[in-house]
Amino acid sequence: MTDRYGRTIDYARISITDRCNLRCVYCMPAEGVPKLERSEVLSYEMLLAICRAIVSLGIVKFKVTGGEPLVRKGCTGFVAALKRIAGVRSVTLTTNGLLLPGAAAALRAAGLDGVNISLDTLDPARYQALTRGGRLEDALEGVRSALKAGLRVKLNCVPTAGSTPDDLVRLAAIAQAHPVEVRFIELMPVGPGAHLGGIPNRQVADWLEAVYGPAEPYHGRLGNGPARYVHFPGFIGRIGWISAMGDCFCGHCNRIRLSSAGRLAPCLCLPESIDLRPALAAGETALCAAIREGILSKPARHHFEPGVEAGGRTMSQVGG
């Protein structure tokens, strides 16, 4: 469906849990965020009922997210059920990768179209510091298992103060040797991300070009979102830029977000969200009307300001 600004909304990010097995410094405070009660988290049946209503409004591409989606039991079954909804065109998943070795093959068999894996550094000590305890090798094993299972893989890196040119150049080199997209996401002032220093993508691009030479724009379509892709000579995969701060892409925004508590967020920058539970209980017509209302309340653009916390929640609560 089309929103008030003429944008086609065809993509929904569905968070299935607010829990996570990491505590990335830009996403969650060290102590974590207050957890939802079990009774507050929507069952898979409820999530699927909302997804069916979303599809009936013309939204056909889904990203399963969290928190960490793979910590919720039954994630693979949910992916399979989502894929079976008539009209759904793609279902992808975003994960920190730690639990992928035990899940990638089953996810592929369930029909998952691709996986985004968060990977901010190739330095084991920095990975452990950034994720507050994660092991780089576990994430890399996750990447390997996804490739082995035949999943399309994108790696997401959020450069922050302390990311070195050398580290990011090595991360980009994964796309030199493998058929993956390595994407650099500018830090957004959401949750603790507001109080950290980010690195503009323009700076990262300069670092990469100094080593790999001038990049060529890639005009093909890859994925659901605002990433702009380039190709470096000799690379098998591509490099993607998601520059929410340096190059506002809101004019092409195509998405809505559903939290695991059933709240529809029209925009990352706004604290407002719509509780879909009452409409879900009232039936399909009410549900579609509530989702439509959410889409029509999307703002023209975000109003992120560096250092000013936006949205009133963490990315782990809204799904990134």
Out of ligand SF4, ligand SAM, none, which partner does residue 153 contact, by CB within 5 to 8 A per kind?
A: none
Out of ligand SAM, ligand SF4, none, which partner does residue 145 contact, by CB within 5 to 8 A per kind?
A: none
188 contributes a contact to ligand SAM by CB under 6 A: yes
Tell me if 180 sits within 8 A of 153, measured CB to CB: yes
C-alpha neighbours within 13 Å on the C-beta side of residue 69: 32
State the nearest-atom distance from the C-beta of 260 to ligand SAM, in Å: 11
- The binder of ligand SAM chosen from 16, 27, 98, 239 (CB under 6 A): 27
- The binder of ligand SF4 chosen from 55, 59, 64, 67 (CB under 6 A): 67
Out of ligand SF4, ligand SAM, none, which partner does residue 122 contact, by CB within 5 to 8 A per kind?
A: none
Tell me if 208 sits within 8 A of 171, measured CB to CB: no
The CA distance from 157 to 35, in Å, is 26
- The binder of ligand SF4 chosen from 27, 79, 171, 268 (CB under 6 A): 27
- The binder of ligand SAM chosen from 25, 50, 66, 258 (CB under 6 A): 66
Tell me if 15 sits within 8 A of 36, measured CB to CB: no
Tell me if 173 sits within 8 A of 146, measured CB to CB: no
State the nearest-atom distance from the C-beta of 283 to ligand SAM, in Å: 31
Q: Which is nearer to ligand SAM, 184 or 212 (CB)?
A: 184
Sign for the CA dihedral angle at 277, 279, 282, 287 comes to negative
Phi, then psi, of 108 in degrees rounded to 5: -60, -45
Give the DSSP H or E segment for 62: strand 61-65
Decide: residue 104, CB within 10 A, 0-12 exposed, 13-18 middle, 19+ buried. Answer: buried
DSSP state string for 208-243:
HHHHH-PPEEE-S--SSSS-EEEE-TT-SSEEEEE-
- The binder of ligand SAM chosen from 118, 121, 201, 259 (CB under 6 A): 118
Site map 71..110 versus ligand SAM, x via CB under 6 A = -----------------------xxx--------------
State the nearest-atom distance from the C-beta of 94 to ligand SF4, in Å: 8
66 contributes a contact to ligand SF4 by CB under 6 A: yes
State the nearest-atom distance from the C-beta of 254 to ligand SAM, in Å: 17
State the nearest-atom distance from the C-beta of 197 to ligand SAM, in Å: 12
Tell me if 241 sits within 8 A of 227, measured CB to CB: yes
State the nearest-atom distance from the C-beta of 24 to ligand SAM, in Å: 6
Out of ligand SAM, ligand SF4, none, which partner does residue 23 contact, by CB within 5 to 8 A per kind?
A: ligand SF4
- The binder of ligand SF4 chosen from 76, 92, 118, 163 (CB under 6 A): 118
C-alpha neighbours within 13 Å on the C-beta side of residue 144: 7
- The binder of ligand SAM chosen from 64, 175, 190, 215 (CB under 6 A): 190
Cβ-Cβ contacts under 8 Å for 32 (sequence gap 6 or more): 23
Residue 305's nearest CA partner among 231, 209, 198 is: 198
Residues making contact with ligand SF4 (CB under 6 A): 20, 22-24, 27-28, 66-68, 96, 118, 315-316
Residues making contact with ligand SAM (CB under 6 A): 20, 26-27, 65-66, 68, 94-96, 118, 156, 158, 185, 187-188, 190-191, 193, 315-316, 319-320
